Amino acid sequence: MDPFWSYGLMIAGGAGWTLALILAVIPVGIVLGLLGAAAKLSSWRVLRLGAETYTTFIRAMPELLVIFLVFFGGARAFNWLLAAVGFPEIQIDFNPFLAGVIALGVVQGAFATEVFRAALLAVPAGQIEAAQACGFSRWQTFRFVTLPQVWRLALPGLGNLLQILIKDTALISVVGLADIMRNAQIASGATKQPFTFLLLAAAVYLLFTTVATAVMMLLERRANHAWRRA
Amino acid sequence: MDFELIAEAWPDLLKGAGLTLQLLFLPLAVATVLSIPLAIARSSHRFWVRIGPAAYTFVFRGTPLLVQIFLIYYGIGQFESLREGFLWENILSNAYWCAMIAFTLNNLAYITELMRGGIQTVPHGEVEAARAYGMSGFQTYRLVILPRMWRTILPAYSNEVVFSLKATSLASVVTVLDLTGQAKVYYSQYYEPYDFFIAAGFLYLIMVFVITRVLKGIEWLLGADRRPVKHRGETPAAADVADPATGPAGPA
C-alpha cells in the first residue's frame, strides 16, 4: 500500500484514542464541576475555601504542567495513599491514557465549576422559595427545579469547555498516548513528510471541533425548547 | 517537598519565567495590532471581505496549538526551497522564533473573533450619528467604534491573556527552555515530580495574578463614566453636566 494511505490509516486509528479520551474526560469534568460548584455555594467555610483553592490553582496552571504532574507524580502519590490506608502490597502504574483522563478531568472540572456556579446562581430564588412552599425537600428542589434549568443555563459554557478539551487532548501525545498527534509525528519521522501528515492531523482535529460545535447547537436547541418563541 | 532542590533550581526557573513572559507579550502585542484590521474585515457586510478572516479564525481556533507549532517547526522543513537562506538559518530553524510565530498566529485568530464581537455590539445609532457629523469611515472607527469595542472586550481580553500565558508552556515541547521546560529538565535530572512542577505552577500563579490585576486596573480606568458620579463639593446639578468627552452622565 502507498505509504500515504497506510500512515493516514494510522492517524485515523489514533483518532479512536483521542475520541476515547474526550468521552472519558467529559463525565469526570462534569461531576467535579458539579461538586465544585456545590462546594463554592455551600454554607461551610471549609468547603468554600477548598473549592476556591482548587479552581484558582488549576485555572492558573498550564495544562501541560498538570499533565506532567499527574503522569510523573500521580502514581507515586496514589501508591502512598494506598499504603497509608493499609494496602502497601498494591502498586499501580499510570499509563498515559489514565494520566490524561485524570489531568484533563481535573482541569475541566475547575472550569466547569465556574460554569455550574454561574448557572446555579442564575436560577431565580423565587422558584426555589416556591418549591419549598409547595413542600419540596431540598433534594427534590434540586432534582426537579434547579437541575433541569442548570443544564440549559450551563450548556453554552460547557460547549466552550468541550472545544478546549478537544484541543487539549493533543497534549497527552507528549507523554506518549498513541493519539492523532503522536501518530502524525511518527508518520512525519518515517516518511520525511512532516507537513503533509501534520496537516492531516490538523484536519482531523478540525473535523472533531466542527462536529462538537454542531452537537452542542443541537443540544442547546433541545434544551431551549420551552423558551422558543412561537 | 525538598526546598533545597527548589532553591537549586530557582535561578533557572526564574530565567524560564522570563522567557515565558517574552513568549507571552511579543506575540500578544503583534497579534493585537494585526487583529484590528482583521476584525474590521471579519465584521464586514460584504461576503468576499468577510470570508478570508472567517476561514482563518475557523482553522486556527479549531485546531490544537501543538499542531500549529509542529507545522511551523517541523513541517516547513519539508519544502526544499525554504531550507536555505536568511529566513531558514535565523528564524525557521530556531525553536524560539517558531514558537513566537505560532503563538502570534494563534493569538491573532482568538483576538480577531473577540474584537469582531466587540465591534458588532456597538449600537448602530452611534455609527449613524458619527456619519451624520460628517466623520469618514476611518474616523468613525478610530473615534467611535474602536474605543467602545475596547471597553466591551477588555474582560474577555484579559481572559485571553491568561489562556495565552498558559499556552506558552507548549514551547517547551519544541525544546524551548521556558518555565515549564526548565521544570521538566530538573525533573529528568532528579526524578522528583512534585518539587519542580509545583514550584513552576506557583510562579505561573503569580504571573496570572499580577497580569489580571493590571488588566482589572485598566478596565477600571476605562470605565470612568460607568462609575457613580462623585459630587466633589459641587451642587448635584453641576455634577450632572459631565465633561464633553464622555457625554452626559445620566443616572449612575
Any domain includes B94: yes
Q: In the numeric block, which cell numbers belong to residue A88? A: 502497601
What residues of chain A lie within 8 A of the CB of B187, using their CB?
68, 72
Kindly tell me the burial class for residue A33, based on how many C-beta atoms sit within 10 Å of its own C-beta (0-12, 13-18, 19 or more): buried
Is B201's CB within 8 Å of A60's CB? Answer: yes
Task: Write the ipTM.
Answer: 0.88
C-alpha cell at A44: 461551610
Sign (positive or negative) of CA dihedral A160, A208, A166, A216 = positive
Ranges of beta strands (E only) in A29-146 are: none
- The verdict on B154 touching A (C-beta cutoff 8 Å) is no
- Residue B210 is assigned to a structural domain of this protein: yes
Residues 6+ apart with CB under 8 A from A44: none
Query: Is residue B236 situated within a structural domain?
Result: no
- pLDDT band for A228, please (50, 70, 90 cuts): low
d(CA B51, CA B78): 29
Which range marks the domain in which residue B21 is found?
3-224
B200 close contact with A: CB closer than 8 A: yes
From B62, B46, B55, B35, select the one nearest B117 (Cα to Cα). B35
In angstroms, the CA B137 to CA B127 distance is 9
**B183 in reach of chain A (CB within 8 A):** yes
* Inter-chain residue contact B66 with A68, CB threshold 8 Å: no
Rounded to a whole number of angstroms, the distance from the CA of A72 to the nearest CA of chain B is: 6
- Selected for mutation to probe chain B from A56, A80, A198, A200 (highest B CB count within 10 Å) is A198
For chain B, say whether A94 makes contact (Cβ under 8 Å): no
| Residue B37 within any structural domain of the chain | yes
- Whether B5 and chain A come into contact, CB under 8 Å, resolves to no
**How far away is chain A from the Cα of B22, in angstroms, using its nearest Cα?**
16
Quote the Cα angle for B195-A169-A38, to 5°: 75
Quick one: cell of A146? 434547579
Residue B234 belongs to a domain? no
CA atoms within 13 A on the CB side of B146: 16
**What pLDDT, on a 0 to 100 scale, did the predictor assign at position B249?**
45
Greatest C-alpha distance within chain B = 76
Q: Which of A222, A213, A218 is nearest to A165 (CA)?
A: A213
What is the residue-level pLDDT of chain B in tens, covering all 252 positions? 678 888 888 889 999 999 999 999 999 999 999 999 999 999 988 999 999 999 999 999 999 999 999 999 988 878 877 777 777 777 777 889 999 999 999 999 999 999 999 999 999 999 999 999 999 989 999 999 999 999 889 989 999 999 999 999 999 999 899 999 999 999 888 888 888 899 999 999 999 999 999 999 998 888 777 777 666 655 555 444 444 444 444 443
- Does B67 sit within 8 Å of A194, measured CB to CB? no
The set of cell numbers assigned to B164 is 495565552
B198 → chain A, closest CA residue:
A69
Question: Quick one: which of A106, A119, A99 has its CA closest to A55?
Answer: A106
B180 contacts in chain A (CB < 8 Å): 62, 64-65, 68
Is B246 inside a domain boundary? no
Give the domain ranges of chain A. 18-179
Instruction: Tell me which chain A residues have a C-beta less than 8 angstroms from the C-beta of B59.
Output: 202, 206
CA distances in angstroms from B16 to B3, B100, B153, listed in the order given = 19, 15, 30
Q: Is B19 exposed, middle or buried (0-12, 13-18, 19+ CB in 10 A)?
A: buried
At A96, phi and psi to the nearest 5? -55, -35
In CATH, what number does A18-179 get? 1.10.3720.10
- Give the CATH number for residue B104: 1.10.3720.10
The answer to whether residue B31 is domain-embedded is yes
- Name, in order, each residue with C-beta under 8 angstroms of B244's C-beta and a sequence gap of 6 or more: none
Q: Please give the tally of structural domains in chain B.
A: 1
Of residues A2, A4, A1, the one with CA closest to residue A200:
A4
The separation between CA B223 and the C-alpha centre of its own chain, rounded to angstroms, equals 20
**A195–chain B nearest CA distance, Å:** 4
Residue B235, domain member (yes or no) = no
